[in-house]
Amino acid sequence: MKLVKYILGLAGAAVIFSSCTKQLEDINKNPNESETVQPDYLLTNGIKANVDTYWGTDASMETSLLYVQYWAKIQYTDPDRYVPAATSIQAVWNNFYAQGVSDFTKLIQLGDTLHNPNYKAVGIIMRSWIFQVLTDLYGDVPYKQTSQIEQYLTPEYDTQRDIYLGLLAELKTAVGLISTSDNPIAGDILYNGSMQRWKKFANSLRLRIALRISDKEFAAAKAVFDEIGADDNNLIIDNSDNAQLIYQASPNQNPVAKNRETRNDYRISKSVVDKLNALNDPRLTIYGALPRDTNKIVGVTNGLRTDSAARLGLNKTSDVGAVFTATAAPAVLFNAAELWFIRAEAAQVGLLSGDAATLYTKAVTTSLKQYNVSDLNVTAYLAQPSVLYNPANYKQSIGDQKWLALFGEGLEGFAEWRRLDYPKLTPAYTGALGAGKMPLRLTYPSSEQALNGVNYKKAVANQGADQLTTRLWFDKE
């Protein structure tokens, strides 16, 4: 793949080496190895590598899961105090660009070369998902020019608005390319070659993005909902269609499980435990595990200093539940409950016809059924006044329950918490950002300042200071 992975990981560093590219390619060619990259290999590797990043240490465990207070740290607590490691910020950027944008751009090109539009469609869908995650996290990021990285070695940053609108267009194109009757694909470890399920994922992503921009671009959002918002046949409306990667035994285990093999740094956040207890929520014993030394779920306050956290005791506080930490636990990219919450909010604000309360109830029910909660317990839970839908404060009703439904999906939960401003979370106990302040994004990696400085400065001038507390376009009041 030439120097694409290196270029995308280190942006403008390639300028230094561009004159040597041809010589390096000639030196590194293996005469016994095929020059043609196989699409099934690219697809398998691309899905696995990027879902690992999404669900892994740097993008989730050390950042977003802490910021949105799903998890807390009980050892080495600086990240929970809003002091992220520079290596984490760099790794998220490098991995998503080098293992994501690069591989799926190549898959898109191979789809054309091999005259298989389904490979092209899947490449567009996965690349769009990655860009959605990147702009959710950082704001303005390189987007359009990254598909021609050999021409644009120091790619310009696109505005978050333009990225979201571009992704809506790309995903619509991908859906139009999909054929469910011919052009089979191989290497699909997400949906096992089911193009109908890929279509559902793509359309569901379109609705996610449309809702995210609706406060700023209502007309554009409504056009998407008018087209596909009520299309039950082509959306993720049932847990059987959840976009999730099912992991296997080592070395293909869930990245959370892999982390647990050598570390014991994380606990369920007290914020989640308190909310679940207040609602008599049956997900409490699913989201949290019983400690060795007590018979109740005990969460940890976010943002404790290391010495204070250590005094709580590893055996007296609750780890995250096995459904998230087991070797074969799935990494979820999009669940059906999210789709129903999207519909509920869309109905409330006039993007979609329907009864918001009914759709909200369906969303909560779908989340509970994702974890096999019994019908009896679902009915009892929904009957509680504290769970009933409140149209006068729909953001709280949807925000609180969507936050619970997205537990484990740190990146998506972090984005929706910022957009809805619910639940009302208390900043980290000894947070490093100042009184009352919480992270609202990730800062750009230092490599961008050093190697893509001109475009980095333009992005900062457009978006605001390169700080954790800078509000992004979709989140600005």
Each domain of the chain, given as residue ranges in start order, spans 4-23+38-250+329-475
pTM of the model as a whole = 0.93
How many other CB atoms sit within 10 Å of the CB of residue 293? 11
- How far, in Å, CA of 428 to CA of 73, rounded? 11
The sign one gets for the Cα dihedral 76, 80, 82, 87 is positive
User: For residue 400, is pLDDT > 60?
Assistant: yes
Average pLDDT in the 416-440 region? Answer: 97
pLDDT 10s digits, 119-132: 999 999 999 999 99
pLDDT for the residue numbered 35: 56
Average pLDDT over all residues of the chain: 93
User: For residue 401, is pLDDT > 50?
Assistant: yes
- How far, in Å, CA of 475 to CA of 469, rounded? 11
pLDDT for the residue numbered 37: 81
Q: How confident is the model at residue 1 (pLDDT cuts 50, 70, 90)?
A: very low
Return contacts of 306-309, CB within 8 angstroms, 24+ apart: 306/75, 306/76, 306/77, 306/78, 309/72, 309/73, 309/74, 309/75, 309/77
pLDDT 10s digits, 443-461: 999 999 999 999 999 999 9
| Spatial CB neighbours of 31, under 8 Å, sequence gap ≥ 6 | none
User: For residue 12, is pLDDT > 70?
Assistant: no
pLDDT 10s digits, 20-70: 334 334 434 455 445 568 999 999 999 999 999 999 999 999 999 999 999
User: For residue 270, is pLDDT > 50?
Assistant: yes
Q: How confident is the model at residue 172 (pLDDT cuts 50, 70, 90)?
A: very high
User: For residue 306, is pLDDT > 70?
Assistant: yes
Average pLDDT in the 90-116 region? Answer: 96
pLDDT for the residue numbered 149: 82
pLDDT for the residue numbered 7: 40
User: For residue 11, is pLDDT > 80?
Assistant: no
Average pLDDT in the 149-172 region? Answer: 96
Q: Are 165 and 220 in contact (CB under 8 A)?
A: yes
pLDDT 10s digits, 182-218: 999 999 999 999 999 999 999 999 999 999 999 999 9
Average pLDDT in the 437-443 region? Answer: 98
Q: Are 255 and 249 in contact (CB under 8 A)?
A: no
Compare 74 and 29 and report the one with higher pLDDT: 74
Average pLDDT in the 372-382 region? Answer: 98
Quickly tell me which residue has 């892999």 as its tokens: 258
Peptide bond into 423 cis (omega under 30): yes
Q: How confident is the model at residue 310 (pLDDT cuts 50, 70, 90)?
A: very high
pLDDT for the residue numbered 150: 84
Q: How confident is the model at residue 477 (pLDDT cuts 50, 70, 90)?
A: confident
User: For residue 267, is pLDDT > 50?
Assistant: yes
Q: Which CATH number fits domain 4-23+38-250+329-475: 1.10.390.10, 1.10.10.60, 1.25.40.390, 3.10.330.10?
A: 1.25.40.390
